[in-house]
Chains A and B, each alone.
Chain A
Amino acid sequence: MDSSIRTASRGRLAAVGGVALVLALVAGACGSSPSSTSTPTTTAPAATAPSTTAAPSTQQTTTTTTAKSAYPMTVKSTAGTAVIKARPTRIVSLSATATEDLFAIGAGSQVKAVDSYSDYPANAPRTRIDALDPNLEAVVNYKPDLVIVSDGPARFNAQLAKLHIPVVNEPAVANLTQAYGQLEQLGKLTGHLASADKVVADMKEKVHRLVGEVKKQNPPLTYYYELSTAPYYTVTSDTFVGSVFSLLGLHDIADQAGVHAAGGYPQISSESIVAARPDLIFLADTGNQGGQTPATVKKRPGWSQVPAVKTGDILALNPDIASRWSPRIVILMQDVVREVQKAER
Chain B
Amino acid sequence: MTTGAVEKPAPAIADVVGLAGLPTSRLRPRALVLAACFTVACALVGLAVGPTPVPIGGIVESILGHLPLLGVHSHLSATQTAILWQIRAPEVVLGLLVGGMLALAGSAYQGVFRNPLADPYLLGVSAGAGLGATIVIVYGSVGAGSDPYVLPAVAFAGALIAVALTYLIARGGRGFGTASLLLAGVAIDALLGAIQSYVQQQAPGTINQAYYWLLGSLAGADWHDVWLIVPYCAIGTAVVLIHRRTLDVLSLGDLEAASLGVDVGRVRLTVIAGASLVAAAVVSVSGLIGFVGLIIPHAVRMAAGSSYRIVSPLSMFVGAGFLVLCDVIAGRVLAPQELPIGVVTAVIGAPFFIVILRTRRAGGAS
Binding site for B on A (CB under 8 A): 132-133, 229-231, 257, 261-262, 266-272, 274-275, 277, 285, 288, 290-293, 296, 299, 301-305
Pick 23 A–B contacts, CB within 8 A, sort by A. A230-B209, A230-B217, A230-B219, A231-B212, A231-B219, A269-B51, A269-B219, A269-B335, A271-B51, A271-B83, A272-B336, A274-B52, A274-B83, A275-B51, A275-B79, A275-B83, A288-B141, A293-B145, A301-B90, A303-B82, A305-B78, A305-B81, A305-B82
A266, A270, A296: the one contacting B219 at CB < 8 Å is A270
B141, B146, B209, B220: the one contacting A270 at CB < 8 Å is B220
- CB A272 to nearest CB in B, in angstroms, measures 5
Q: A266 to chain B: which residues have CB within 8 Å?
A: 336-337
Contact present for B141 and A274 (CB under 8 Å):
no
Contact with A along B67-83 (1 / 0, CB 8 A): 00000000000110111
Q: A290 to chain B: which residues have CB within 8 Å?
A: 142-143
Contact present for A302 and B83 (CB under 8 Å):
yes
Binding site for A on B (CB under 8 A): 50-52, 78-79, 81-83, 85-88, 90, 141-146, 204, 209, 212, 217, 219-220, 222-223, 331, 335-338
Q: A257 to chain B: which residues have CB within 8 Å?
A: 336
Contact present for B336 and A267 (CB under 8 Å):
yes
Give CA–CA (A231, B144) in the complex, Å.
14
Q: A302 to chain B: which residues have CB within 8 Å?
A: 82-83, 85-87
Using known A-B contacts A288-B141, A301-B90, A301-B223, determine if residue A269 contacts B79 with beta carbons closer than 8 Å.
no
Contact present for B79 and A305 (CB under 8 Å):
yes
Q: A261 to chain B: which residues have CB within 8 Å?
A: 336
Q: A303 to chain B: which residues have CB within 8 Å?
A: 82, 86
Q: B219 to chain A: which residues have CB within 8 Å?
A: 230-231, 269-270
Give CA–CA (A303, B79) in the complex, Å.
9
B50, B86, B141: the one contacting A301 at CB < 8 Å is B86
Give CA–CA (A304, B85) in the complex, Å.
12
CB closest residue in chain A, given B142: A291
Using known A-B contacts A291-B143, A291-B146, A301-B222, determine if residue A230 contacts B87 with beta carbons closer than 8 Å.
no
> Which 7 pairs, one residue from A and one from B, show the smallest C-beta to C-beta distance?
A291-B143, A302-B86, A291-B145, A296-B144, A301-B86, A275-B52, A302-B87
Give CA–CA (A132, B88) in the complex, Å.
38
Give CA–CA (A268, B88) in the complex, Å.
15
Contact present for A271 and B144 (CB under 8 Å):
no
Contact present for B79 and A271 (CB under 8 Å):
no
Q: A305 to chain B: which residues have CB within 8 Å?
A: 78-79, 81-82
Using known A-B contacts A271-B50, A271-B52, A275-B51, determine if residue A291 contacts B86 with beta carbons closer than 8 Å.
no
Contact present for A301 and B52 (CB under 8 Å):
no
Q: B88 to chain A: which residues have CB within 8 Å?
A: 271
Contact present for A301 and B144 (CB under 8 Å):
no
CB closest residue in chain A, given B85: A302
- CB B74 to nearest CB in A, in angstroms, measures 14
- CB B56 to nearest CB in A, in angstroms, measures 17
Give CA–CA (A121, B85) in the complex, Å.
47
Question: Which of A267, A269, A299 is most buried by chain B, counting CB atoms within 10 A of its CB?
Answer: A269
CB closest residue in chain A, given B90: A301
Q: A269 to chain B: which residues have CB within 8 Å?
A: 51, 219, 331, 335-336, 338
Contact present for A293 and B212 (CB under 8 Å):
no
Contact present for B51 and A272 (CB under 8 Å):
yes
Q: A288 to chain B: which residues have CB within 8 Å?
A: 141
Give CA–CA (A203, B249) in the complex, Å.
80
Q: A231 to chain B: which residues have CB within 8 Å?
A: 212, 217, 219-220, 338
